[in-house]
Structure 1
Amino acid sequence: MKLGPHLAHLLKIKCCFWYCRSVRNCSLQGSIPDFSRIANLSYLDLSWNQLSGSIPQNKLSNNMTTIILSHNRLNGSIPKNFSLLPSLQKLSLENNFLNGSISTDIWQNKIFNTTSRLVIDLRNNSVSNISGAFEPPVNVTLRFQSNPICSSTSIRNIGKYCGPDFGADDDEPSNSTNPSGVCPIHACPTDNYYEYVPASPKPCFCASPLRIGYRLKSPSISYFDPYKQLFESYVTSSLQLDLYQLWIDSYFWEKGPRLRMYLKLFPVVGDNTFNESEILRISEIFASWEFQGSHLFGPYELLNFTLLGPYSHLNPEMKGKRQSKGVVIACIVAAGAFAAFVSSIATILITRRRAKYQKILSRKRLSSSLSIKVDGVKSFTFREMTSATNNFDTSTQVGEGGYGSVFRGILADKTVVAIKRAKVGSLQGQKEFLTEIELLSRLHHRNLVVLLGYCDEEGEQMLIYEFMPNGTLRDWLSAKCKKNLKFGARLGIALGASKGILYLHTEADPPIFHRDIKASNILLDSKLTAKVADFGLSRLAPVQDDEGLLPNHVSTMVKGTPGYLDPEYFLTRKMTDKSDVYSLGVVFLEILTGMHPISHGKNIVREVKMAHKSGVMFSIMDKNMGSYPSECAEKMVELALKCCQDKPEDRPSMLEVVRTLETILQMMPYTDTDPLDNKASFSETTSSASFSNTRSGDLFISSSNVSGGDLISGVTLNITPR
Structure 2
Amino acid sequence: ALGPECHYEMSSLSASFVQIKFDDIHFYENCGGGSFGSVYRARWISQDKEVAVKKLLKIENEAEILSVLSHRNIIQFYGAILEAPNYGIVTEYASGGSLYDYLSSALSEEMDLGQVMTWAMEIAKGMHYLHSEAPVKVIHRDLKSRNVVVTADKVLKICDFGASRFLAHTTHMSLVGTFPWMAPEVIQSLPVSETCDTYSYGVVLWEMLTREIPFKGLEGLQVAWLVVEKSERLTIPSSCPDSFAELMRKCWLTEPKERPMFKQIIATLESMANDSKLPEQCNSFLHNKAEWRCEIEATLERLKKLERDLSTKEQELKERERRLKMWERKLIEQSNTPVSSDSLSLSDGCFSC
Band the TM-score falls in, shorter-chain normalisation = 0.5 to 0.7
Measured in 1, the distance between the counterparts of 2:248 and 2:242 equals 10
Offset from partner CA, 1:44-99 (integer Å, 9 cap, x none): xxxxxxxxxxxxxxxxxxxxxxxxxxxxxxxxxxxxxxxxxxxxxxxxxxxxxxxx
Taking the TM superposition and a 5 Å limit, the aligned residue runs for 1:696-715 are: 701=284, 703-704=286-287
Q: Structure 1 residues 458, 504: closer, same or farther in 2, change over 3 A? A: same
Could you tell me whether the CA contact under 8 Å between 2:116 and 2:208 is conserved in 1?
yes
Give the residue type in structure 2 aligned to 1:461.
Y
* Greater share of helix: 2
Is 1:399 paired with 2:21? no
- Amino acid of the structure 2 residue aligned with 1:490: V
By relative contact order (CA 8 Å, sep 6+), the higher-ranking structure is: 2
Distance 1:592 1:506, change over 3 A: same
Equivalent residue runs for 1:343-382 within 5 Å: 374=16, 377-382=17-22
What is the aligned partner in structure 1 of residue 267 from structure 2?
659
Q: Displacement of 1:461 after TM fit?
A: 0.9
1:646 maps to which residue?
254
- Indicate yes or no: 2:212 matched with 1:595: yes
1:653 alignment partner AA: M
Cα contact 1:513–1:580 (8 A) shared by 2: yes
Give 2:78's aligned residue: 452
Offset of residue 599 of structure 1: 0.7
- Counterpart secondary structure, 1:573: coil
Q: Once the 2 structures are TM-superposed, how far is the Cα of residue 482 of structure 1 from its aligned partner?
A: 6.8
Q: Tell me the distance in 1 between the aligned counterparts of 2:276 and 2:49.
A: 37
1:85-138 CA distance string (max 9 Å, x none) = xxxxxxxxxxxxxxxxxxxxxxxxxxxxxxxxxxxxxxxxxxxxxxxxxxxxxx
State whether residues 75 and 157 of structure 2, in contact with CA within 8 Å, keep that contact through their aligned partners in structure 1.
yes
After TM superposition, give the deviation of residue 493 of structure 1 in Å: 0.8
For residues 399 and 408 of structure 1, the distance between their equivalents in structure 2, rounded to whole angstroms, comes to: 9
* Paired AA for residue 217 in structure 2: H
The answer on whether the counterparts of 1:556 and 1:575 sit within 8 Å (CA) in structure 2 is no
Identity, % of aligned pairs? 28
Q: Residue 495 of structure 1 aligns to a residue in which SS?
A: helix
Q: Which runs of 5+ in 2 are unaligned?
A: 1-13, 290-353
User: 1:702: how far off?
Assistant: 5.8
Distance 1:482 1:535, change over 3 A: closer
The structure-2 alpha-carbon separation of the partners of 1:530 and 1:703, relative to structure 1 and needing over 3 Å to count, comes to closer
Query: Could you tell me whether the CA contact under 8 Å between 1:592 and 1:637 is conserved in 2?
Result: no
Q: Which amino acid aligns with 1:498?
A: A
CA shift for structure 1 position 700: 6.1
- Specify which of 166, 171, 183 is matched with residue 556 of structure 1: 171
Report if the CA contact (8 A) 1:440-1:451 is conserved: yes
* Alpha-carbon offset, residue 484 of structure 1: 3.0
Residue equivalent to 2:336: none
- Deviation, structure 1 residue 439: 2.0
Q: 1:459 to 1:536 in 2, by over 3 A?
A: same
Q: Tell me, yes or no, if the aligned pair for 2:75 and 2:92 is still in contact at 8 Å.
A: yes
**Which amino acid in 2 is paired with 1:617?**
S
Letter of the 2:53 counterpart: I
**Equivalent in the alignment of 1:420:** 54
- 1:321-373, Cα deviation, whole Å (9 max, x unpaired): xxxxxxxxxxxxxxxxxxxxxxxxxxxxxxxxxxxxxxxxxxxxxxxxxxx86
**Counterpart pick for 2:126 among 478, 496, 500:** 500
Report the Cα offset of residue 518 of structure 1: 0.2
Match status 1:566 vs 2:183: yes
1:703 CA displacement: 4.0
The aligned residue for residue 139 of structure 2 is 513
Contact 1:582–1:643 (Cα < 8 Å) also in 2: yes
**Counterpart amino acid of residue 590 in structure 1:** E
Per-residue CA distance 1:532-581 (angstroms, 9 max, x = gap): 111247548xxxxxxxxxxxxx9923456111111123235211111111
What is aligned with 2:233? Answer: 606
- C-alpha contact (below 8 Å) 2:126/2:158 kept by paired residues: yes
Q: How does 1:26-41 map to 2 (within 5 A)?
A: none
Choose the corresponding residue for 1:617, options 239, 261, 281.
Answer: 239
C-alpha spacing 1:667/1:401, structure 2 compared with 1 (3 Å): same
Going from structure 1 to structure 2, the CA distance change for 1:668 and 1:500 (only over 3 Å counts) comes to: farther
| Cα distance change on mapping 1:398 and 1:439 into 2, 3 Å | same
- 1:384 paired with 2:10, answer no
Cα deviation, 1:195-233, whole Å, max 9, x if unaligned, reads xxxxxxxxxxxxxxxxxxxxxxxxxxxxxxxxxxxxxxx
8 Å Cα contact 1:584/1:643 also seen in 2: yes
Of the three residues 86, 101, 109, the one matched with 1:475 is: 101
- CA–CA distance in 1 between the matches of 2:41 and 2:206? 30
Structure-2 residue corresponding to 1:679: none
1:379 partner letter: Q
Q: How has the CA–CA distance of structure 1 residues 700 and 490 changed in structure 2, closer, same or farther, with 3 Å as cutoff?
A: closer
2 CA distance for matches of 1:645 and 1:702?
24
Q: Measure, in 2, the Cα distance between the counterparts of 1:526 and 1:636.
A: 27
RMSD across aligned positions (CA): 3.0
Asked whether the 8 Å contact 2:80–2:89 carries over to 1, the reply is: yes
- Return the letter of the residue paired with 1:573: L
Separation of aligned partners in 2, 1:596 and 1:397: 23
Structure richer in strand, relative to its length: 1
Alpha carbons 2:164, 2:173 under 8 Å: kept: no
AA partner of residue 597 (structure 1): P
CA radius of gyration, larger in: 1
Question: Quick check: 2:171–2:189 contact (8 Å CA) kept in 1?
Answer: no
Q: Identify if the C-alpha distance between structure 1 residues 699 and 647 changes in structure 2 by more than 3 Å, giving closer, same or farther.
A: closer
C-alpha deviation, 1:399, in angstroms: 1.0
The offset of 1:637, in angstroms, is 2.0
Task: Report the 3-state secondary structure (helix = DSSP H, G, I; strand = E; otherwise coil) of the residue aligned with 1:456.
Answer: strand
Sort the Cα spacing of 1:480 and 1:383 in 2 relative to 1 into closer, same or farther, 3 A: same
| 2:112–2:282 CA contact under 8 A, matched in 1 | no
Using structure 1 for the length normalisation, give the TM-score: 0.33
Q: Who is 1:141 aligned against?
A: none
Shift of 1:410: 2.0
Residue identity opposite 2:235 in structure 1: V
Q: Is the 8 A contact 2:149 2:158 kept in 1?
A: yes
| Residues 450 and 598 (structure 1), Cα distance of their counterparts in 2 relative to 1, 3 Å cut | same
Deviations 1:151-196 (A, max 9, x none): xxxxxxxxxxxxxxxxxxxxxxxxxxxxxxxxxxxxxxxxxxxxxx
In 1, are the aligned partners of 2:108 and 2:211 still within 8 Å (CA)?
Answer: no
Point out where structure 1 has 5 or more consecutive residues left out of the alignment.
Answer: 1-371, 541-553, 619-632, 670-681, 686-697, 707-722
Counterpart amino acid of residue 31 in structure 2: V
Distance change (3 Å), C-alpha of 1:448 and 1:401: closer
SS at structure 2 position matched to 1:512: coil
- What is the TM-score when the length of structure 2 is the normalising length? 0.66
Alpha-carbon distance, 1:483 to partner: 5.9
Aligned length: 261
Q: For residues 359-418 of structure 1, what are the alpha-carbon distances to aligned partners after superposition, in whole Å with 9 as ceiling and x for unaligned?
A: xxxxxxxxxxxxx862xx432111112xx21xxx5xx21112332211111233431111
* Aligned residues of 1:449 and 1:465 also touching (Cα < 8 A): yes
